[in-house]
Amino acid sequence: MTNHIDRVLVGYAGTAGSTKSVAEFIAARLRARGLTTDLRDLAEKPSVDGYDALVLGSGVRDAALLPSAENFMWHNADALRTRPVWLFSVGISPSLRGPLGNLLREVVPTRIAELCELIEPRDYHAFAGVVPRTGAALPARFLLWLCGGRYGDLRDWPGIEAWTTGIAEYLHGAVTA
């Protein structure tokens, strides 16, 4: 017997709000496409039981996902490997430009690559986030300049929408065993 996938968990981990708003956007788009979608903060350690598919996202800090996202994935690794999962991150690196920035943009940080090996998502996508001008120390600002980084709200809403559309289209065509 087969059932259509219709319950999706969108889980996020963030500190300053930009990852949460990306997750809210994704959840709203999945709902608009008829999928029953819950939005949860991964710090609340939501259960994966009852969900047919998951979209997981985290802000990036020091080349790693936030601890609540990493812990959720390590704790639920077996269950995640048996379900369709999409992983996204929100950080600076996708917005880098110039010779050094072009190189760095293509690099998946080791700890994120390890999580991809662990949970085997159908796709991992790094989205640009919000880079505030205030508060950064001079060495960090110099490093950002060197890598062709920019300040501001760099979120690519059309790109996020296109990625979500791909997920919805996959789920509408997929069935659970």
Ligand X SMILES: Cc1cc2nc3c(=O)[nH]c(=O)nc-3n(C[C@H](O)[C@H](O)[C@H](O)COP(=O)(O)O)c2cc1C
CB of residue 52 to ligand X, shortest distance in Å: 26
Specify the stretch interacting with ligand X by CB under 6 A; choose among 33-41, 89-97, 114-122, 158-166: 89-97
Q: Lay out the site mask for ligand X across 109-138 (x = CB under 6 A, - = otherwise).
A: --------------------xxx-------
Helices 18-32 and 157-173 meet at what angle, rounded to 10? 40
Could you say whether residue 75 binds ligand X (CB under 6 A)? no
Identity at 4, one-letter amino acid code:
H
CB of residue 153 to ligand X, shortest distance in Å: 9
* CA separation for the pair 72, 65 (Å, rounded): 11
Specify the stretch interacting with ligand X by CB under 6 A; choose among 13-21, 39-47, 110-118, 156-164: 13-21
Candidates 34, 45, 47, 61; binder of ligand X (CB under 6 A) is 61
DSSP string, the chain: --EE--EEEEEEE-SSSHHHHHHHHHHHHHHHTT-EEEEEEGGG----TT-SEEEEEEEEETTEE-HHHHHHHHHTHHHHHTS-EEEEEEESGGG--HHHHHHHHTPPPHHHHHHHHHH--SEEEEEE-EE-STT--HHHHHHHHHTT---EE---HHHHHHHHHHHHHHHHH-EE-
Specify the stretch interacting with ligand X by CB under 6 A; choose among 2-10, 32-40, 58-66, 70-78: 58-66
Could you say whether residue 104 binds ligand X (CB under 6 A)? no
Candidates 68, 76, 93, 164; binder of ligand X (CB under 6 A) is 93
CB of residue 152 to ligand X, shortest distance in Å: 11
Could you say whether residue 91 binds ligand X (CB under 6 A)? yes
Nearer to ligand X, 34 or 132 (CB): 132
Q: How many residues of this chain interact with ligand X, rule: CB under 6 A?
A: 18
User: Residue numbers of the site for ligand X (CB under 6 A)?
Assistant: 14-19, 59-63, 90-93, 129-131
